Amino acid sequence: MNETFPVLGFDIGGTKIAVCLALSDGTILASARVDNRDRDPKDVLPELVAAGKKLLAEQNIQPGALKALGIGSPSPMDWKAGMIQAPHNMPRWKDVPIRDYLAKEFGVPGFFDNDANAAGLAEWLFGAGQGVDDMIYLTMSTGIGGGIITSGRMLRGRNNYAGEVGHMVIDPTGPVCNCGQKGDYEAFCGGLAIAQRLRKQLADQPDSAIVKAAGGNAEAIDMRALEIAVREGDAFAVSVWDEMMERNAQAMGALMNIFNPSVIALGTIAVHCGDLFMKPLMERITKYSWPQMQCDIVPSKLGSKAGEYSGIAVALYSLYERGEWTLPWSK
């Protein structure tokens, strides 16, 4: 089980798909990108196979040496069937049996999970969660998803929906989320939700620092524009940021009290914003969690490489569950 072997990973996104070839010790050998912007999966799937086989050939790895492949994909999905079921950013991918298709083409076991779980597994196996048995990974991007490791196992729940922490309601009087719920964590702190609110609020305010940071176009406001205005000291932008940080602390404090993790690793915004995000979070978190809940809250160690590692981690964790691979820190 401790011998090093190659695995393939696929990180499915609405605009691009990352294909990654790595060794079981976490060494990335090579990677490629396949365009997926408004394309039919019938056209994309063969390109994924071609890209994977090209990576193997370029690294002089015989197809028979490949041990497994893993796939991380947006939800909704049928986890047991390995099927993508038309995510909102990939509406043409309706009931696509991607796991079995790729497994057959490469002649190896294929494994499948949602993208938040996949990123969480990657952070656990090769990032900030290495060596611990209990950790939470939060995506902190357009939306807020979670991957929860507890007692050394991925928490899945009855229908494999465990980890949807972005949709826990933290204030029922709060804004409506894109999922339809009112006042959930993502509605307060998700990048898309915040940008949508700011676009409406500032539609007729061309002199706003946030609008100016978005190139003078209120419809182009995103989290980057908000960040720029906050760093400039704009009072309104700072108030929006402070509210976001208060809600982040509230939600993460609840997670600490419920799961008592050793680590909470934060993706995207925490990685890109650094102390602008982490300092106010840590100043507030003690209001919402017991002091006994000792937890390291840190930006993702993998950062922008999380996508490359996610499919690899799905494959390796699945082999671990089958007793065919050993955790890196337990060798």
Domain assignment present for residue 122? The answer is no
Domain assignment present for residue 169? The answer is yes
Whether this model's pTM surpasses 0.85? yes
Q: Are residues 317 and 188 in the same domain?
A: no
Q: Are residues 67 and 135 in the same domain?
A: no
Q: Any residues with CB less than 8 A from the CB of 21 and at least 6 apart, and which?
A: 6, 7, 8, 9, 28, 29, 30, 31, 52, 55, 56, 59, 61
Domain assignment present for residue 123? The answer is no
Compute the average pLDDT of residues 185-201. 97
Rounded alpha-carbon distances, angstroms, from residue 159 to 180, 253, 329: 20, 26, 30
What's the chain's average pLDDT? 95
- State residue 11's pLDDT score: 96
> Which amino acid would we find at residue 126?
F
Rounded to the nearest angstrom, the gap between the alpha carbon of residue 120 and the centroid of all alpha carbons in its chain is 7
Q: Are residues 252 and 168 in the same domain?
A: yes
* Confidence category of residue 321, pLDDT binned at 50, 70, 90: very high
pLDDT (tens digit, 9 = 90+) per residue, 265-316? Answer: 999 999 999 999 999 999 999 999 999 999 999 999 999 888 899 999 999 9
> Which amino acid would we find at residue 129?
G
Q: Are residues 134 and 51 in the same domain?
A: no
pLDDT (tens digit, 9 = 90+) per residue, 68-82? Answer: 999 999 988 999 999
pLDDT for residue 141 is more than 80: yes
* Confidence category of residue 100, pLDDT binned at 50, 70, 90: very high
Domain range for 144 is 128-301
Q: Are residues 66 and 163 in the same domain?
A: no
Q: What percent of the chain has pLDDT over 90?
A: 89
pLDDT greater at residue 89 or residue 61: 61
Q: Are residues 98 and 201 in the same domain?
A: no
d(CA 225, CA 162): 32
Q: Are residues 38 and 183 in the same domain?
A: no
Q: How many domains does the chain have?
A: 2
Q: Are residues 140 and 228 in the same domain?
A: yes
Compute the average pLDDT of residues 136-156. 95
Report yes or no: 198 and 223 within 8 Å, Cβ to Cβ.
Answer: no
- State residue 326's pLDDT score: 93
* Confidence category of residue 331, pLDDT binned at 50, 70, 90: low
- State residue 95's pLDDT score: 96
- State residue 1's pLDDT score: 52
pLDDT for residue 2 is more than 80: no
d(CA 186, CA 188): 5
* Confidence category of residue 161, pLDDT binned at 50, 70, 90: confident
- State residue 133's pLDDT score: 96
pLDDT for residue 113 is more than 90: yes
